Structure 1
């Protein structure tokens, strides 16, 4: 009967996961009120801080300031550490002064230990300590009572810490029933001693022994008194039940929290992943934003619920500056955001005194985590680009992807067998539609046993992969981190033999339900486990794999169908004895990392990997791409894909996309077409669909729609040189590939909340059509004195202005910024590899001063040879009728047959002649055409190698 009930339960889970018509069951996921530590912390109202900084304890060393903090209510002491860091950053750490046991500190995320800068005390009185943070650009004020930190730039108050008094730190302690037993024993001993004082001499014990007992009892009573100073235990502090699951919490309550006040800031962004607008909302009347990686079935839009990934980085922006708050904690975290008026607060009064203003807008941010310690980096900008670089110096930049991965990916759950794969592949050729990668979901494996192939449906995977390789195409297969419990399954047997599985609190292997049925979960926090996992991708271990097979990690939150909130129990135990509650948000990053390293190792360290992940954390950008999970075929889901990817780009994860067409449900033809058009201008471009949906290959929707989808795909492929250059800039300089308007126009207030249009790099403005039956879109052209050109018609628009752009079904509103030069390859091919030797066209869009510039990055597109300077990085400049090409990095050397096929100059006057000059050569007259209606010069066949220096004179 028990087995039958388990099977029935699994069937019910599967029915929920497989039925497209259902929406998210909110009851499966906690609210703040149901999360006991969030509930406890929210009870603490803003007001005077419970903490004092003992300024007399201050200790200044070469790299940090240490000060003790004391809670006046509980008398518990904490240790505050403040670091001034190179690059205009500050780190603040708060831990127990003398913890009963170590608290978890997040490993493996920071790329290196941040370089400290010397702090310098500049003043002190009875209640204030004043320091310079490294350079003299920023000053730190430490207020003793109540404890507060203020960071100033000159006379401007930039940020305050604990100004609302919401510092919260639950120290490790012994459970009270354990202490009570000790105290009862001590009291009993003391009572026995009292009785002996009045008994006969023969009944008296030795005096010295009695003294020891008395001292021991007094100490234990004192300990109990001290404990009574702690907050009284509440439900959920030592164990907590949600639905049918009980979290044992053997270490008791250990949550931490801290508030930050941002005077002068009304717009804050980041802390993905949430299906919400780009600008974060206030949460006074809602749940806080939650950061807790979860498998949320068919997620709802425009709310603060947690989704698949978490990056605890918040950015704030106003016309003067941009700053970031990186809350370095991997446990379940809630983020409250409130809007305030600085002039009405104690903080605001200080600001008013210093700046002479009042009623200054202010945003307050409160972070609450279940465990760990307080470890936060303040990224002081002051520009958006500075913040991106500061964060990248901590967690790394976006990995440089292989060139093919920027093309189009075709996926569904599932392509049935090898014949199905061949037929779909042939369909793209038959209909002259480009694509690079075909994907296989969980049904390709033998009974959901990853690293295997279904022997009946995929009996000859190498033959299948070879067929794709002959067409210069790739395949991606899914490899999930839940492992089928089957003694005949080699992967399971080896993991178990190495003792690499996550454990239960009782020490047995943790088991849960997922796609294969009963499954165990490798402990990816263990570096030996990650190394073993990586070794499984070698060609001799992953049977049937080849160098054109890449990987998709799904369900790595981790997803546990019968677990609390569809994930792992928090009291499960990982390597080093750490509970899952400490590492939860890291799990997906570790899976992603181990898989990416496996693909690198299989090539002897020569080839770049491509790995897609659903779960992520800070630093995931170093390992590959992310998608927005199991969306639905609805117009609102198409629309929300823009702010979701923009939010990820702001926190360093540029390689983002949403499932084209929607994973669940069946898109109407108009929606599918608009989604292809939008997807063509998002960094990761993949169509994907649920098992129960009808087939959606691009040629199945009528000839007219096939033509329109083909046109969208060809636009994507023509821009691949530009995409690749943007990804190189993201990899080298942490510049977001897809970026909000305010990143490029930081003083344009009208752009601060815009998320229905965006920029690709600095040169292309994109406004996808995301409304049903749209006849036009409202486009905002940002900046002052800027000019923008429709990339299809070359129509010119000056900014700032709002413009109604009529649209048809073929319209993809895209505009090139005046002053930019974009390299393209305009010859249609069947995939990116076939375009490798094709010539370039430069699109030169002139600004109002008649100038423009742009870049082109080029390497072999697949290896790490660029790290040995095998690349080209070119700069193109146009000024005063002269187009020049020069090297941006003289260290780069890369031979290429690519030549310059055309130059298109937009916004130009008619020239009399155009000549080409190369160093050491004579001037060559070039043929050109001029369109007076569009003010466009088209120069044909300059014939120069794209890697060479040249000058083109337009006279």
Structure 2
């Protein structure tokens, strides 16, 4: 949650006079407000925007490879610097090179200085490292499809795919640059390359030429192309000419920048070592699976997490939460989980409840009533801990701070003093998740709080890690707490939703003129506070210039300073590690700690964590949401490639703030977005303080439209859960790009306005305001594939490679079933618990060859250690559907119906295990019904056979 930078600038000067946002902030006028000067960093000019910056490729001399030795798994050698240039750091004279064939599908190239003094090497016990498979002392190199080749003089290397002889990665012609604060290497790429990955940012799915990706965790509200919350240094390179795909992962926590050009990719980092992993693939889904299996398979989420979630910043009291619950029930909109933003806190302090608006006793009863109705509650926890005013006895009564001081678990300044930043409650400190006693401290905070607030999951926010001021701005100032943020608390959304300017042009013009005048005034008043450009980006020995590295990456903050809206790079961990080295890991370390805590609180229940900042391996512990997006149609679109990218990175469950976080949603936008998000892995509506309400019951039409697709989602819960189980066990994403499902079709390379759920459900949302049609493509249609309309079950007359216009009036989202698959269903209930008790169904969509297959996974939906489960396989061919199951979990609900699509003529009889059963036939669809008596012991208690002739 973030007040956008532009809003900060616009309202900073007015903050002291701002009206209080809620009762807990009622003392805002009497509080000291954080000095705006403290929020401004040293103004930097990113090197990529600086025409006078030296190009390392043109100046650096590179290295020669000497003393090469073969090993059982590859080779080692020494890289000797040819000539020092010391462009953006001091060059290392000697580097160790190690090449390891780790498996038939994975190769590692590792380069690090011979002298590791002052060099940060990412510990394996912090972030797991892919390791050698099989016998470490032997390897059959002929089995590897990846081949390492090198040139010793003017060292370069190349990764060749043995089967196709193509170059997958080549540094030829580009000198290696390796200094204490700047690492650079380049690879050539084929023209018209198709690169995906390198997140997290708001961008189309493909990373096309001209894109610069900055990989530095950043608290900022979803700007297009800017670096945001997570860091994922992994990309997939799909080669259509050879019908292959490979992946590249740089295992580093360093601040990074990646420049993608027409025929090259340049990768830069500000510290660390080169630790590259190449994955052979050779399909997109296989590359993703190979990568995710190494960084950590996604956490298996509880069944209930696939239900519908409702949140907003601005649920001002427990009574208001109850009214939201009541309204959902009144309008019969399924609701699984209610969430709390920082509203519930006492003056925005973690692990507290506002005594007036969220009194503990009433709040606990509210949560218990949710549980009685099989519903759930998830509150937010920010990364910063309030540092109370020592001169105010009431304020100073805050155990999470004092317990942390006693345990010595907070980040420090280089001189050993407490690092004090500023977040929502005022001056704050930050848990150091590398410190020895932080896990015990974190455990106690949650356990004490859980006694009063029996939550079902935890929402981790602001963990990039964010701070509203630059540096330890609160040092020596705790007696001023609570300090108000330097802006009006909460967003200041536009008064009108998207499209208002078309229908109310005069009023819109007046509003825009006012905003422009304010922005101009604010910009002129704040510019004087910045120092001169690049005044501090100088070389320094040892670890270097920590706060102002000589090379300035394109960090998306107004001044580009790494410390703006973040804990400063020189903040120091207990073991001496600088935040500069592991800033990108803060959220990850918090997720690991929180996962352990939740398992201690509820042993053998799957922890549910939603976190904003992520890193390779985060998916093993957490889910993720898309961050502070906007109530605009473009943001609904961008949510698709954002989710696809995070699915690549091993985040099994992700979704956006449906209907948009910042700004004002409209009936049309919210209707379209609610229907779109019904098919995302994670489905939550959330918006900002002071914006108009956007719960689906606010508009009668959105109520109707939301219920339609939520019911479809709940009908498909067994399908979602089964695919999620596959994600957890194999790394294969639940939500899929068309280019993953049809990797040999170049025309799909840029297709990111449609997506598949699993193999079988194709979603074609409307992403344009005012539209009543939408164009979609249907790969393989009329040739190898057949598609059926979800709503009518009718086979569609689509053509492969043709953009087809589909009718999509408001309230209708086109859905199609891909032939060749069997989809398990269960009658939807109001909650996922109710749904699990209802009869099963099957949708059998016959393919071109009149066959289909599918599967179902069932367990109790919540156990961390799964003792009983059920696996069911379905195969349809030759007018026969077979169901075979194995496992001990008792899925006692009967089978109600089987719907078979693509049956060319009406059968004369239909039999279930030899017994005639009820059926009807219409539009090439066979409806087999009333199967409950045939399956009274459970739909899949035994093998059965359905035939139609």
TM-score using structure 2 length: 0.81
How far is the alpha carbon of 1:12 from its aligned partner? 4.7
Maintained 8 Å contact 2:820/2:846: yes
Maintained 8 Å contact 1:839/1:900: yes
Q: Structure 1, residues 105-162: CA drift from partner, whole Å, max 9, x if none?
A: 25446446512578999xxxxxxxxx97573433221111221111222351232342
Indicate which of 250, 266, 274 corresponds to 1:327: 250
Maintained 8 Å contact 2:919/2:926: no
Q: Which residue of 2 aligns with 1:831?
A: 831
Q: Which residue of 1 aligns with 2:462?
A: 555
Q: Which residue of 1 aligns with 2:206?
A: 279
Q: Which residue of 1 aligns with 2:64?
A: 53
Maintained 8 Å contact 1:120/1:132: no
Maintained 8 Å contact 1:722/1:856: yes
Separation in 2 of the partners of 1:483 and 1:76? 44
Maintained 8 Å contact 2:100/2:109: yes
Q: Structure 1, residues 85-117: CA drift from partner, whole Å, max 9, x if none?
A: 125111111111224334332544644651257
> Where do residues 496-895 of structure 1 align in structure 2 (5 Å cutoff)?
496-526=405-435, 528-538=437-447, 540-546=448-454, 548-563=455-470, 564-604=563-603, 606-702=604-700, 704-783=701-780, 784-797=783-796, 798-800=798-800, 801-827=802-828, 829-866=829-866, 868=867, 870-887=868-885, 890=886, 892-895=887-890
Q: Does 1:103 align with 2:120?
A: yes
> Where do residues 332-343 of structure 1 align in structure 2 (5 Å cutoff)?
332-340=255-263
DSSP 3-state at the match of 1:523: coil
Maintained 8 Å contact 1:119/1:133: no
How far is the alpha carbon of 1:47 from its aligned partner? 6.2
Maintained 8 Å contact 1:106/1:329: no
Change (3 A) 1:9 1:277: closer
Separation in 1 of the partners of 2:640 and 2:313? 24
Maintained 8 Å contact 1:657/1:683: yes
Change (3 A) 1:821 1:531: farther
Separation in 2 of the partners of 1:275 and 1:16? 33
Change (3 A) 1:873 1:81: same
DSSP 3-state at the match of 1:582: helix
Q: Structure 1, residues 312-334: CA drift from partner, whole Å, max 9, x if none?
A: 11111023211111111112110
Separation in 2 of the partners of 1:306 and 1:18? 29
How far is the alpha carbon of 1:33 from its aligned partner? 6.8
Q: Which residue of 2 aligns with 1:293?
A: 217
- Return the index of the structure with the highest Cα Rg: 1
> Where do residues 325-364 of structure 1 align in structure 2 (5 Å cutoff)?
325-340=248-263, 364=264
Change (3 A) 1:14 1:471: farther
DSSP 3-state at the match of 1:549: coil
Separation in 2 of the partners of 1:643 and 1:16? 38
Q: Which residue of 2 aligns with 1:76?
A: 93
Separation in 2 of the partners of 1:732 and 1:111? 18
Q: Which residue of 1 aligns with 2:915?
A: 924
How far is the alpha carbon of 1:599 from its aligned partner? 1.1
Worse overlay, 675-684 or 66-75: 66-75
Maintained 8 Å contact 1:290/1:333: yes
Q: Which residue of 2 aligns with 1:159?
A: 168
How far is the alpha carbon of 1:35 from its aligned partner? 4.6
> Where do residues 448-527 of structure 1 align in structure 2 (5 Å cutoff)?
448-459=348-359, 460=361, 461-486=363-388, 487-526=396-435
Maintained 8 Å contact 2:384/2:430: yes
Separation in 1 of the partners of 2:155 and 2:769? 54
How far is the alpha carbon of 1:865 from its aligned partner? 3.8
Indicate which of 270, 283, 292 corresponds to 1:383: 283
How far is the alpha carbon of 1:393 from its aligned partner? 2.6
Change (3 A) 1:905 1:256: same
Q: Which residue of 1 aligns with 2:309?
A: 409
DSSP 3-state at the match of 2:230: coil
Change (3 A) 1:707 1:117: same
Maintained 8 Å contact 2:304/2:833: yes
Separation in 1 of the partners of 2:149 and 2:43? 33
How far is the alpha carbon of 1:409 from its aligned partner? 0.3
Separation in 2 of the partners of 1:452 and 1:367? 44
The CA RMSD over aligned residues, in Å, is: 2.8
Structure 2 alignment gaps of length 5 or more: 1-10, 23-35, 85-91, 389-395, 471-562
Change (3 A) 1:110 1:493: closer
Q: Does 1:146 align with 2:157?
A: no
Separation in 1 of the partners of 2:52 and 2:600? 46
DSSP 3-state at the match of 2:199: coil
Separation in 1 of the partners of 2:928 and 2:766? 30
Indicate which of 93, 97, 106 corresponds to 1:89: 106
DSSP 3-state at the match of 1:675: helix
Q: Structure 1, residues 323-363: CA drift from partner, whole Å, max 9, x if none?
A: 111111112110111112xxxxxxxxxxxxxxxxxxxxxxx
How far is the alpha carbon of 1:453 from its aligned partner? 1.3
Maintained 8 Å contact 2:917/2:930: yes
Structure 1 alignment gaps of length 5 or more: 1-7, 20-24, 122-130, 172-253, 341-363, 918-922
